[in-house]
Amino acid sequence: MIDSRRVERRGRSRVRARRPTGAVDLEGVAAPVDDPARLSHAPRVPGGPADAKNAEPSARERALHLQHARDRALVEQAQRGDLEAFNQLVELYQGYLFTMTYRVVNDRESAADAVQEAFFSAYRNLDRFRGDSFRSWLTRIALNAATDILRLRKRRPADPYPEWEDDSWQPPTDEADGPERAAIQRARVRA
């Protein structure tokens, strides 16, 4: 029977030696467990990282809070029928949404279509907005619109009638020319 503890491990680094569990003082004697020198971290300082939860919000957090409050106010106004409030939301987010949708569809016209569809859909469904982040809600709508455009591209080829590209097809002739003239023209095309 093979002892699994003695199996050679190739390709792995050696296991490091265990560190002692207690701190060692200058004379090499283990310090008592309740000795503060045994602590592996600095003592807690008031105002340090442990108190970060109680600290003032950062500039980024304050900006996000102001953005959410602004969006919430504009959405509430738009829900009451204020079209100007919704237009302000469009102005705030159209550049951001265009960038996001362009990354998905990789075509400027399709990205613009996706953004337009997203704003139409958002306006029609403002009553369904739950009050979370408006930017997240609008981004999801725009990305769904961009995904729909990609699906349509796969179903519908870019050039729907490639067989019509050859020059052999001619539009129908006038009936005033008569059937004989049409037959002569068809014969010329074949030759």
Q: What pLDDT shows up at residue 183?
A: 82
CATH architecture of 61-155: Orthogonal Bundle (1.10)
Residue 17 confidence (pLDDT) above 60: no
Q: List the single range of 106-115, 117-126, 165-174 with lowest mean pLDDT.
A: 165-174
* Residue 173 identity: T
Q: Name the packing angle between helices 134-155 and 59-79 (round to 10°).
A: 70
Coil, helix or strand at residue 27: coil
Sign of CA dihedral 55, 56, 61, 66: positive
**Quick one: which of 67, 126, 112, 115 has its CA closest to 90?**
115
Q: How many Å apart are CA 173 and CA 179, to the nearest integer?
A: 9
Q: What pLDDT shows up at residue 157?
A: 63
| Selected residue with higher pLDDT from 141 and 63 | 141
